[in-house]
Structure 1
Amino acid sequence: MPPPAMQPKAKHLTNRYFISYFYSQYSVLNKKMNRFEPYTNEPMPAHNEEDDVEVQQVVQEQQNRLINMDWCKCQRCSHMASFDECLCCTEIIAIRETLERDQEVTGPVTCITEHPGFDPVCLNVWTLQLSIGRGRRHRNKSINEKYRHASYKNFVRWTHGYLGRGNRTILPACVVKTIRNHFQSETYVGFKYPNI
């Protein structure tokens, strides 16, 4: 027998109606009891000046990367359009691992663009033609745009492995500069975050 609060108010309800009425009342009561409204009566957190200082430091670092080249350790990078793209190959773990992995064969290399594998993977036209294939995606692009896009993809595959469809990573400035110099175009797009 349900508790008195759950018993039907009307005496003429049959068992079938009683069961449905019971469950409907039980679900309403259950929802009221389990309602969770965080911070309903909690005071707002106090303003923290340390957070403001950290934000100012991050903004200052971003502006510095756009102004000067202190962030480049390989000495082959160039200024890029956005803060995100101002990235040296020595700052990316996957690229450092590629350089360390191949160090016995290549000797000491300071930049990934100096690696003996960079030219055949990213700049060789025959390799890039294989990567482009016969897809419809590149139909309206110039040949240099096709090669540049395939070169970027080959570089990511070589250093990071397969990321999966729609997943992107920012390329270092030295790689972008070398590929753009090799496959020139009138306009460049730069890195775009994927649509969510």
Structure 2
Amino acid sequence: MDSNSESSSEEDIAPTELDFSLDFDPEYTEEELQQILLEEKKAEDERSRLEHRVSNAHWCTCGLCIPMPTGVESLCCREVDQIMMKNASKSCITHQEDFKTAVLNLNMIKLHRHFYVSKIKDAKEKAKWLVEDNANYRLFAYRVFILWLNNYEKLGHKVRKVIPSCVVHSIRLMWPSEDGIYKGYKEADVD
């Protein structure tokens, strides 16, 4: 047979050309495998639980949440431990005077925006944030809510938290979109 017309067989491949990609895969003990499977099952159960929340508010216990387009956004204020610690009356967090003062007060939103924008060096970027419109007010209200919830400590670069539906709803009522279209929660881009 002509060796040029025939494709190489495994015996003809030099050892350095073989695929050793599986040689470096981690080896797990039976316990570790069980733990991995358990964690995967919990994550799948959580995704399944959340998907039942889409486009309804049956999950809401404060009475002020609205149906959200995704399961992850379908969160009630009473499901967040940090909120419950701030909420002595146990009513919806949006009824708290502190919340109204910090998050729904236009002067507070403008003040936070001023501090945020003062750190921006790029003129175009700065101008974008200084636009006086409801979209910017909503964005800063969401930021202020997270700051308020965390006792004014920043979360860190690209760290995001889901905001409860009732809070999102109250902010949207205060600063509505002209076309009724909202962006919703987005995970941070990972570098």
TM-score scaled to structure 2, two decimals?
A: 0.66
The amino acid that maps onto 1:151 is A
CA contact (8 A) 2:52 2:71 kept: no
Structure 1, 156-165 or 85-94: larger mean CA deviation: 156-165
Question: Rg: which structure is higher?
Answer: 1
Compute the displacement of 1:97 (Å).
Answer: 1.1
* Matched residue type, 1:165: H
How far off is 1:39 after superposition? 6.2
Q: Structure 2 vs 1, CA of residues 71 and 140 (structure 1 numbering), >3 Å: closer, same or farther?
A: same
Structural mapping, 1:30-45, within 5 Å: 37-38=24-25
Q: 1:174 to 1:140 in 2, by over 3 A?
A: same
Are residues 81 and 130 of structure 1, via their aligned partners in 2, closer, same or farther at CA, if it must alter by over 3 Å? same
Q: Which residue of 2 aligns with 1:16?
A: none
Please show how residues 146-185 of structure 1 align to structure 2 within 5 Å.
146-161=136-151, 162=153, 163-185=155-177
Q: Deviation digits for residues 5-42 of structure 1, max 9, x if unmatched?
A: xxxxxxxxxxxxxxxxxxxxxxxxxxxxxxx74568x9
Match of 2:187 in 1: 193
Aligned to 1:24: none
**How do 1:126-145 and structure 2 match up within 5 A?**
126-133=107-114, 135=117, 136=126, 138-139=128-129, 143-145=133-135
The residue type paired with residue 61 of structure 1 is R
What is the identity, as a one-letter code, of the residue corresponding to 2:150? H
Letter in 2 for 1:125: L
**Are 1:91 and 2:79 matched, yes or no?**
yes
State the alpha-carbon separation in 1 of the partners of residues 58 and 38 from structure 2: 26
**Structure 2: any 5+ residue segments left out of the alignment?**
1-22, 118-125
Q: 1:54 to 1:147 in 2, by over 3 A?
A: closer
Q: 1:153 to 1:55 in 2, by over 3 A?
A: closer
1:160 Cα deviation after fit: 2.0
Cα-to-partner distance string for 1:44-75 (whole Å, 9 max, x where unaligned): x89xx999986774454223211542321101
* C-alpha distance in 2 between matches for 1:127 and 1:52: 43
- 8 Å Cα contact 1:121/1:154 also seen in 2: yes
Distance 1:53 1:130 in 2: 45
How many residue pairs match? The answer is 149
Calculate the aligned-residue CA RMSD, in Å.
Answer: 3.0
Q: Kindly tell me: are residues 52 and 137 of structure 1, through their superposed partners in 2, closer, same or farther at Cα, counting changes over 3 Å?
A: same
